A and B are shown apart, each in its own frame.
Chain A
């Protein structure tokens, strides 16, 4: 019976050896099915869509270079005397962690390069995540169905910062120790439990002998594992949701216009990995990063000038620098039942970051509630076509940047020859005023750009050619747009404010009134896209007459 069935359906036998091996594997793991499904997945092409990829590749490079570093790094805080080849630190008392970091830098072949690859890619990792998030925010890609993925992305940002900070602290040099000391101070500022948390974390009074080993475990095990998990979730959801696309002719919420993954996109993406790797490798080869030998071993007494965290923690450091100790006679430090409450540390360290991350996580739901928009969106907004959102984003961005700049206030003062105090005063003012200015300016710019788009859609592009008509009138020739370009300028949604509606009991709730108020704020300033009727009316203008005159002129030559 079995012999008969094989005779009826002869199994496929590949001609070459490679083919037979491939067939053997494929018939067991079903690779071709997966490839058929994924290979036909379409990705739209735009440069701004590639920052997520940059982050992913930086993470892969981090794993590779980090593994190399673990071979030689020893996270011990035991005391030793340096015996490596860097003379200015010869015989200096230091921790084994610092000594092994120095050995990686000076006595392991390729070690310094790999350390620099690791650190540069860490900076690039968080930077590309930040730019990716800005892109997602300003184009409205977080809207339904992608709200959850926005949250996963936000978690990834926090995890990336955690990975960065735990890594920054590992070499146990003066710079990283100063950073840990600030974290210790912030933790101790938390009322009641702060001291206990600090003692738990450091295994006793700061700095103790345990913290480097603990941070190391977090840095190489827990945090990367969580990042990996989140990346898997993130990419899984990208596959489920499909990629968003910019508006354009033939693109709508029901399709994706772009290249299939295989072969074009896969080749591009694969090649891009090596480009990112190459850029990082060149930076690591030619530009030094975190020269730990400059800073010396950690010792709780000295603090070097120019002590800053890596850029992604900078905004917290900046907020700490901006916070005044006293305002006039008003103090920020109280002793309550024997506990000291230091608001001048607690407020700047936790409140701005808290606000920033809370709004970041909640934003998709905030906008959804205000706009009552429950539709799926796969076509992105051009930032100008959502002026209020763009303005909110710009305000948040400026707020972040003010704190970020404050982290470098000392360098601003020395390099621009201004007073450090003045820099601080200006940044304090900008901390409050900057976001407001950014909001107003951005919104006005977005509306102006929309008006310009409308103008171009209706009257065409100015060519700069001045023509005198037979009856003496001078006009400037406007070149009409082709349909594809015009679609981009007119084919967008322009919602109007949603007034408050009564609920099922016929009552307009207070909450609904608030929502209506916010909806008005969100949508009241709008420039509607040109309608077909308007386009028709504009088209019947004097342009054809000019074109006719032009043509006859050309003929007469």
Chain B
């Protein structure tokens, strides 16, 4: 102990202290986040979850969705939409909505995982609806080829064959699907958020949804084998590139070639 107190003015003491502080904070944070994660993955809701969820709902959502989620002029009733819808909308930051418009944008989530869990518990308690998917459907170990076929037939017309997104009417759009978690993709399919149709289990089986998620994650992690993908937007991006970059460089060379040295 004496040795420690003698060394307390050592020039390296500050660094050691800083390191220790960082380790402790980081460690605690890691523990805290894994605790949250574990909670979120349980699909059962306790009475206190529901009660807390109701409080959150009344404070943050009821303005538009009404008391008891019965709906108002400004927002639809949420009875029977299920936990999946809430987890998707709140978990991706689309709800609470930033402003009225054709479609809510994805933005940093306003509620943490516990609060999202409580909110979904509350809404789920109002009426039966699609639940948060089980872990084994999100393991990304399905059949990517089957998933690709399902994706092209069911999803590509709005989301683009390479999942790069696309336009809908009147300012609505289908977002790009890179960086969307498997859970949120699954929830979107079962709940049909914003302008998306519902793909229930009769349309696309849970196994099929697992395949689709596998396909999406695989093309995302594959990257682009042919070089920079120019946004995977197809011939428009390619045409723009050849006119601006390709022809631009060529023109620079023609000017160089025909410039006189004098």
Q: Count chain B CB atoms within 10 A of each CB in A89, A279, A285, A306 and give the residue with the most.
A: A306
Chain A, interface SS category: helix
A50 touches B254 (CB 8 A): yes
| Inter-subunit contact A91/B170 (CB<8 Å) | no
The reply to whether A288 and B159 form a contact with Cβ atoms under 8 Å apart is no
Residues of B within 8 A of A305 (CB): 156-161, 165-167, 174
1/0 contact string of A274-305 vs chain B (CB within 8 Å):
01100110011111111101111001011111
- Among residues of A, the one whose C-beta sits closest to the C-beta of B144 is A88
Q: Are A414 and B167 in contact, CB atoms less than 8 angstroms apart?
A: yes
Is there an interface contact between A288 and B226, defined as CB atoms closer than 8 Å? yes
Q: Considering only CB atoms, which chain B residue lies closest to A285 in the complex? A: B227
Q: Mark A108-139, 1 if CB is under 8 A from B, else 0.
A: 00001000100110011001100100000000
**B162 → chain A, closest Cβ, in Å?**
4
When the two chains form their complex, are residues B250 and A128 in contact, meaning their CB atoms are under 8 A apart?
yes
Query: B169 near A421 (CB under 8 angstroms)?
Result: yes
Interface check B26, CB cutoff 8 A: no
Inter-subunit contact B219/A414 (CB<8 Å): no
Q: Is the C-beta of B45 less than 8 angstroms from some C-beta in chain A?
A: no
Q: Is B230 an interface residue (CB 8 A)?
A: yes
Q: Which of B17-25, B72-80, B122-130, B237-245 contacts A (4 or more CB under 8 A)?
A: B237-245
Give min CB distance, B230 to chain A, whole Å.
6
State A200–B221 Cα separation when bound (angstroms). 44
Cα distance, A408 to B167, chains bound together (Å): 11
B12 surroundings in chain A (CB, below 8 A): none
B169 touches which of A279, A293, A417, A420 (Cβ 8 Å) = A420
B249 within 8 A of A: yes
Majority SS at the chain B contact face: helix
Number of B residues whose C-beta is below 8 Å from A? 60
Q: Which residues of B contact A268 (CB under 8 A)?
A: 257
Asked if A112 and B225 make an inter-chain contact with CB atoms under 8 angstroms apart, the answer reads yes
Partner among A49, A87, A120, A275 whose Cβ is within 8 Å of the Cβ of B218: A87
Q: Is the CB of A421 within 8 A of B162?
A: no
Are B168 and A175 in contact, with the CB atoms below 8 A? Answer: no
| Those of B145-165 within 8 Å (CB) of chain A | 145, 147-149, 152-153, 156-162, 164-165
CB-based contact B228/A286 at 8 Å = yes
A90 within 8 A of B: yes
Residues from chain B with Cβ under 8 Å of A106 in the complex: 225
Note all chain A residues with C-beta closer than 8 A to B226: 105, 112, 116, 287-289, 291
Contact B157 A302 (CB under 8 A): yes
Tell me whether A307 is interfacial, beta carbon within 8 Å. Answer: yes
A413 within 8 A of B: yes
Check A47/B144 contact, CB under 8 A, given A294-B219, A306-B166.
Answer: no
Q: A367: CB under 8 A from chain B?
A: no
Cβ contact within 8 Å between B251 and A47: yes
**Interface residue A207 (Cβ < 8 Å from any Cβ of B):** no
Instruction: Please name all residues of chain B whose beta carbon is closer than 8 Å to the beta carbon of A276 when the two chains form the complex.
Output: 250
Q: Which of B176-207 contact A (CB under 8 A)?
A: none
Q: Does B247 contact A (CB under 8 A)?
A: yes
Asked if B250 and A175 sit within 8 Å, CB to CB, the answer is no
Residues of B within 8 A of A286 (CB): 227-228
B234 contacts across to A, CB distance below 8 A: 175, 306-308
Are B148 and A411 within 8 A (Cβ)?
no
Cβ contacts under 8 Å, B152 to chain A: 174, 295-296, 299, 302, 304
State whether A302 and B232 are in contact (beta carbons under 8 Å apart), knowing that A290-B238, A295-B161, A413-B171 are contacts in the complex: no
Contact with B along A391-426 (1 / 0, CB 8 A): 000000000000000011111011001111110000
Chain B residue with the shortest CB-CB distance to A289: B238
CB-contact partner of B224 in A280, A291, A301, under 8 A = A291
Instruction: Tell me how far the C-beta of B159 lies from the nearest C-beta in chain A, rounded to whole angstroms.
Output: 6
> Which residue on A lies nearest to B214, using beta carbons?
A88
- Tell whether, in the assembled complex, residue B247 and residue A131 are in contact, meaning their CB atoms are under 8 Å apart: yes
B173 lies within 8 A of A414 (CB): yes
Q: With A and B bound together, what is the CA distance between A288 and B238 in angstroms?
A: 9
Known: A47-B251, A311-B239. A174 touches B171 (CB 8 A): no
Minimal beta-carbon separation of A527 from chain B (angstroms) = 29
Asked if A302 and B153 make an inter-chain contact with CB atoms under 8 angstroms apart, the answer reads: yes
- Interface residue ranges of B14-73 to A (CB < 8 Å): none
Question: In residues 489-524 of chain A, which contact B (Cβ within 8 Å)?
Answer: none
Residues A411 and B233 in contact, CB atoms below 8 Å apart: yes
Please measure, in the bound complex, the distance between the C-alpha atom of A408 and the C-alpha atom of B240, giving whole angstroms.
10
Interface pair B157/A304, CB less than 8 Å apart: yes
In the complex, which residues of chain B have a beta carbon less than 8 angstroms from the beta carbon of A407? Answer: 236
Asked if B173 and A123 sit within 8 Å, CB to CB, the answer is no
- Point out which of A87, A116, A421 has the most chain B C-beta atoms below 10 A from its C-beta: A87
Partner of A411 from B215, B222, B236, B247 at Cβ < 8 Å: B236
B255 interface residue per 8 A CB criterion: yes
CB–CB A418/B171 < 8 A = yes
Whether A376 is near chain B, meaning CB under 8 Å from some CB there, is no
Q: Would B254 and A420 count as touching, CB distance under 8 A? A: no
Measured between beta carbons, the chain A residues less than 8 angstroms from B164 are: 306
Residues of B within 8 A of A46 (CB): 258
- Output the nearest chain B residue to A82 by Cβ-Cβ distance: B145
Q: Does B11 contact A (CB under 8 A)?
A: no
Judge whether B229 is part of the interface by a CB distance below 8 angstroms: yes
| B222 engages A88 (CB within 8 Å) | yes
Taking CB as reference atom, which chain B residue is nearest A276? B250
Which of A89, A287, A288, A293 has its CB near the most chain B CB atoms (within 10 A)?
A287
With both beta carbons as reference points, the residue of chain B lying nearest to A53 in the complex is identified as B254
* Chain A positions within 8 Å of B108 at CB level: none
A397 → chain B closest CB, angstroms: 13
**How far is the CB of B57 from the nearest CB of chain A, in Å?**
30
* Other-chain residue from B145, B162, B171, B254 in contact with A90 (beta carbon distance below 8 A): B145
Q: Give the distance in Å from the alpha carbon of A105 to the alpha carbon of B239 in the complex.
A: 21
Interface centre among A112, A285, A294 (most CB of B within 10 A): A294
**Which of chain B's residues has its CB closest to A311's CB?**
B239
Q: How far is it, in angstroms, between the C-alpha of A401 and the C-alpha of B82 when the chains are bound?
A: 48
Known: A286-B228, A304-B152, A414-B165. A123 touches B257 (CB 8 A): no
A92, B149: Cβ atoms closer than 8 Å: yes
Given A288-B226, A305-B166, output 8 extra A-B contacts at Cβ < 8 Å.
A88-B218, A90-B145, A106-B225, A174-B161, A279-B249, A295-B152, A305-B157, A306-B161
26 examples of A-B residue contacts, CB within 8 angstroms: A46-B258, A87-B218, A105-B225, A106-B225, A123-B246, A124-B247, A131-B247, A174-B161, A175-B235, A271-B257, A279-B250, A285-B227, A288-B225, A289-B226, A290-B238, A294-B232, A295-B152, A296-B161, A302-B157, A304-B152, A305-B158, A306-B166, A308-B234, A310-B235, A311-B236, A410-B167
**A→B interface (CB under 8 Å):** 45-51, 54, 87-92, 105-106, 112, 116, 119-120, 123-124, 127-128, 131, 174-175, 268, 271-272, 275-276, 279-280, 283-291, 293-296, 299, 301-311, 314, 407-411, 413-414, 417-422
